């Protein structure tokens, strides 16, 4: 197997390439909140990490251009809400800058009145310990005074895209009783996992053939279907960060698959349209090839089973 370096260099020369490399470090997703006087602050952040166990210190990086800067820099407490897999909309909502992000969102006051959201996977309520000036961010150190966890599945962030945590495939296989190597257990979950892994890996080659990344393909397809969509709206539809949308659009402009309209919004070019349609045709043809060995009756039954598992009848 050959391992090809896709991009390398000095971060100062190509900021986007640098951020793409940083995106190869997968994280969870949090919303960090605080209250100062009658002002609430909250933002989606994936820079959260544990620093010290004794004393219990955590840190996160707060962008200096953040609208919430004044709240976080003055509040004596902040709360880290670790998001669960079904809270991607909340993550997108709190990734927007400014405005009243808390209107219409259910929350309750934690220590220092920092907002805690319902249904999150874990919370860490902190006393603001110290702030370190670090380039275009401040490192916010917090001493954890109370934590909670509820074991819900987690929302993840990698490659600039939101994702889900699935157990390593080997967990769906187990050694047989005599220890004779490994054997796939015929559980429905194991079978679904194997099918999902094989199909999604196989489709990657189809995407690669169009010369676009997953995010670029998704963004181009959304711009084609929703020409008036804003960056935030595209980000929500594509399950990626607004920054990843900007990066994808810059790449699509460079590739000639998209062009700027006079009002600044984006339009798909004729060449881009050819690519979008080709990607959709590839998806349909790929699926048809994978299913070609099934009779129409088998296919109908398989679809029925999958649908019922995804959304069981009440
Ligand atoms: C997944 C994800 C992670 C983010 N992580 C951080 C972070 O760690 N620190 C930060 O300052 N901004 C981060 N951002 C960007 C902020 O959420 C975004 O700039 C937000 O608009 C800030 O809100 P504000 O300007 O109202 O304070 C992240 C965005 C996303 C989508």
Confidence label for 51 from pLDDT (cuts 50, 70 and 90): very high
Calculate how far, in angstroms, residue 61's C-alpha sits from the geometric centre of ligand 1.
9
Q: How many domains, the chain?
A: 2
Burial of residue 30, with CB atoms counted within 10 A of its CB: 0-12 exposed, 13-18 middle, 19 or more buried:
buried
Instruction: Judge whether 183 lies within some domain.
Output: no
Task: Report the distance separating Cα 200 and Cα 282, nearest Å.
Answer: 13
How many other CB atoms are found less than 10 A from the CB of residue 187? 11
Instruction: Compute the mean pLDDT over every residue in the chain, rounded to the nearest whole number.
Output: 91
Q: What percent of the chain has pLDDT over 90?
A: 75
- Residue 180 in any domain: the answer is no
pLDDT of residue 273: 96
**Is 16 inside a domain boundary?**
no
pLDDT digits (tens, 9 = 90+) for 194-222: 888 889 888 888 888 888 888 999 999 99
Taking the centre of ligand 1 as the mean of its atom positions, its distance from the CA of residue 279, in whole angstroms, is: 31
**Residue 27 CB–ligand 1 contact under 6 Å:** no
Is 14 within a domain?
A: no
Indicate the pLDDT class of residue 85, thresholds 50, 70 and 90. very high
Distance CA 32, CA 50 (A): 14
231 lines ligand 1 (CB under 6 A): no
pLDDT for residue 175: 46
Closest residue by Cα to atom 16, ligand 1, is 95
Mean pLDDT for 44-64 is 98
The pLDDT of residue 1 is above 90 = no
- Measure 211 CA to ligand 1 centroid, in angstroms: 29
User: CB of 163 closer than 6 A to ligand 1?
Assistant: no
**33 & 122 share domain:** yes
pLDDT in tens, 274-290: 999 999 999 999 999 99
Check residues 175 and 159 and name the one with the higher pLDDT: 159
124 & 243 share domain: no
* Burial label, 73 (beta-carbon count in 10 A; 0-12, 13-18, 19+): middle
Pocket of ligand 1, candidates 19, 28, 66: which has the most ligand atoms within 8 Å of its Cβ, to mutate?
Answer: 66
Does residue 167 lie in a domain region? no
Q: What per-residue confidence (pLDDT) applies to 177?
A: 45
Q: Which two tokens stand for residue 8?
A: 């390398």
Percentage of the chain modeled with pLDDT above 70: 94
C-beta of 240 in contact with ligand 1 (< 6 A) = no
pLDDT in tens, 96-153: 998 899 999 999 999 999 999 999 999 999 999 999 999 999 999 999 999 999 989 9
Where in the sequence is the domain holding 279, given as residue range(s)?
Answer: 210-310
139 and 47, same structural domain? yes
Q: What is the pLDDT of residues 162-174, one digit of tens each?
A: 999 887 766 545 5
224/84 Cα distance (integer angstroms): 31
pLDDT of residue 181: 45
280: domain CATH number is 1.10.10.10
pLDDT above 60 for 314: no
Domain match, 130 and 217 both: no
Least confident residue range of 185-189, 213-217, 302-306 = 185-189
Check which CATH number belongs to the domain holding 111 and give it: 2.30.110.10
Nearest partner of 43 among 133, 137, 132, 112, judged by Cα: 137
30 CB near ligand 1 (under 6 Å): no
């Amino acid at each position: 197997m050959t391992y090809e370096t896709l991009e390398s260099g000095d971060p100062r020369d190509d900021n986007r390439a640098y951020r793409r490399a940083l995106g190869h470090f997968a994280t969870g997703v949090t919303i960090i909140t605080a209250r100062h006087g009658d002002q609430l602050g909250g933002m989606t952040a994936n820079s959260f990490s544990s620093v010290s166990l004794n004393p219990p210190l955590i840190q996160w990086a707060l962008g200096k251009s953040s609208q919430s800067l004044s709240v976080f820099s003055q509040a004596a407490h902040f709360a880290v809400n670790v998001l669960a897999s079904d809270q991607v909309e909340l993550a997108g909502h709190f990734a927007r800058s400014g405005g009243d992000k808390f209107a219409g969102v259910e929350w309750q006051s934690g220590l220092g009145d920092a907002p805690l959201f319902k249904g999150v996977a874990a919370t860490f309520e902190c006393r603001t310990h110290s702030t370190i000036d670090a380039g275009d961010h401040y490192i916010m150190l917090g001493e954890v005074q109370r934590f909670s966890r509820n074991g819900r599945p987690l929302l993840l962030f990698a490659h600039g895209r939101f994702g889900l945590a699935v157990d390593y495939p080997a967990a769906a296989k187990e050694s047989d009783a005599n220890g004779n190597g490994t054997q796939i257990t015929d559980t429905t979950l194991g079978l679904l996992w194997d099918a999902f892994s094989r199909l999604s890996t196989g489709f990657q080659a189809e995407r690669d053939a169009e010369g676009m990344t997953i995010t670029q393909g998704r963004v181009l397809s959304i711009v084609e279907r929703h020409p008036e969509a804003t960056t935030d709206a595209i980000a929500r539809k594509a399950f990626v960060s607004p920054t990843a949308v900007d990066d994808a659009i810059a790449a699509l402009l460079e590739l000639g698959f998209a062009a700027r309209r006079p009002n600044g919004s984006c339009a798909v070019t004729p060449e881009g349209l050819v690519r979008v349609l080709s990607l959709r045709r590839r998806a349909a043809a790929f699926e048809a090839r994978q299913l070609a060995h099934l009779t129409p009756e088998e296919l109908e039954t398989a679809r029925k089973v999958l649908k019922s598992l995804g959304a069981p009848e009440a």
